[in-house]
Structure 1
Amino acid sequence: MVNDSSERLTTVFLALADPTRRAILERLAHGEASGTELARPFSISVPAISKHLRVLEHADLILHRKDGRTHRFRLAARPLKEAATWLEHYRQFWEAQFDSLDTYLLATAEEEQDIDDLSSTS
């Protein structure tokens, strides 16, 4: 549905921003389900669930097929993998930042300990 990589990521993250949609994806991680099965745990209307499913489908996060009058949905892994890859880059960045902060704090604590040691011997 969405072609450009940046636009696709935006669409995926917007879809993932909603807790109901994340719960739907979590359920689909366990296997295919009908729209009725997906709606069951929620106390919202069928049209509201349908809207969530359309948003997920637009983001290419789910695939659906029609089995008679029943719509069956399943998880599509590719967009989640692309989002995870994008996030991994930033995880590495922040880990490096935290490692630098840790090194700085340890050095500062050692310097303060050295100063305290010198003060107590004077």
Structure 2
Amino acid sequence: MSGSLATSDARPVDHVFRALSDPTRRHVLERLCRSPASVSELAAPFEMALPSFLQHLRVLEESGLVRSHKRGRVRTYELSPKRLKLAEDWLARQRNLWERRLDQLDAYLLELKEKSS
């Protein structure tokens, strides 16, 4: 696909898939599905230095999958599900494309089978 539409549409989806590619970040998203959480709550299950964990949160926030706000000294993260829709829509388009292709292949193979009978 060429043109500015392909380029402008791909970047946000690329960021979402990049964020989803890491198991730590997926675990954070799963946790945030239950409720917003502070950095310390999110980091607790992981055996990594806080600066490393904060990099994961930064990737999630830059992708638009989470948003944060700070009250006093506590930064709280929450899920931003609208961005997941980009990935869902992309996957649905791919699924539809391949289902059509497989249906066409099936029809062609049935036609070949009938001709050879």
Flag whether TM exceeds 0.5 (same fold).
Answer: yes
Residue of structure 1 equivalent to 2:3? none
- Which structure is larger by alpha-carbon Rg, 1 or 2? 1
Distance 2:53 2:11 in 1: 24
TM-score (norm: length of structure 1): 0.77
Distance 1:55 1:28 in 2: 15
Structure 1 unaligned regions, length at least 5: 115-122
CA RMSD of aligned residues (A): 1.9
Q: Does 1:81 align with 2:85?
A: yes
Residue of structure 2 equivalent to 1:14? 18
Q: Deviations over 1:1-26 (max 9, x none)?
A: xxx43211111111111111111111
Amino acid in the other structure paired with 1:69 = R
Residue of structure 2 equivalent to 1:60? 64
- 2:48 counterpart SS class: coil
Structure 2 unaligned regions, length at least 5: 1-7
Q: Does 1:70 align with 2:68?
A: no
Q: Give the share of equivalent positions with the same residue, in percent.
A: 43
TM-score (norm: length of structure 2): 0.80
